[in-house]
Amino acid sequence: MNIAIYPGSFDPITLGHLNIIRRTAQIFDKVVVCIMINGEKDTAMFSPEQRVRMARRVTERIPNVEVDYFNGLLAEYSKRYDKPVVVKGLRAVTDFENEFTMALINKKINPELETMFLTASEKYTFLSSSAVKDVARHGGPLEEFIPIEILDDVRAIAGKGKY
């Protein structure tokens, strides 16, 4: 079975992420969306539980997708699977340097781990979780940015004004 791991912070999951997940699910037998809980990312607006719940809700109708979470190195997490491929989306050249570095570091730690990149759909090249949080914090419209299933959650959490 060909397995893809799609890692990220998903704080929160966006329509751009969902587009990559759908396309990856057409290429691989199974896609594991892995929410990486990074110590350094205490700036997350959504708790790990909230991020997992939202990602599960928006992918529940895609049969070969599952959502997991992990606190640690992606290269270590990937050892749970038989020859998985890490899939990342590239929105623009500005993403490339960071993604290229991460792919090389992951390969140093786990030499069997390959990374593949999908080009973001041009519809979503502008979109990031950070932008979503900024718009949400200010009570702006989110319909074009995040899946409809999580609109209320994102509005409610962002609306608490803690951020």
Contact status: 12 vs ligand PNS (CB under 6 A): no
Positions 102 through 131 that interact with ligand PNS (CB under 6 A) = 102, 105-106
E strands, 21-134, in order: 30-36, 65-70, 85-90, 114-119
Annotated catalytic residue: which of 41, 80, 83, 108?
A: 41
How far is 75 from 83, CA to CA, in rounded Å? 12
Q: Taking a C-beta distance cutoff of 8 angstroms, is the pair 12, 46 a contact?
A: yes
In sequence order, the 6+-apart residues with CB closer than 8 A to the CB of 86 are 4, 5, 6, 7, 74, 78, 103, 106, 113, 114, 115, 116
Known catalytic membership, residue 128: no
Least distance (Å) from ligand PNS to the CB of residue 86? 8
Least distance (Å) from ligand PNS to the CB of residue 106? 6
Stretch that binds ligand PNS, among 5-13, 23-31, 51-59, 132-140 (CB under 6 A): 5-13
Q: Which tokens sit at 159?
A: 């609306």
Contact status: 59 vs ligand PNS (CB under 6 A): no
For ligand PNS, the binding residues (CB under 6 A) are 7-9, 36, 38, 73-75, 102, 105-106
Residues with catalytic function? 17, 41, 91, 129
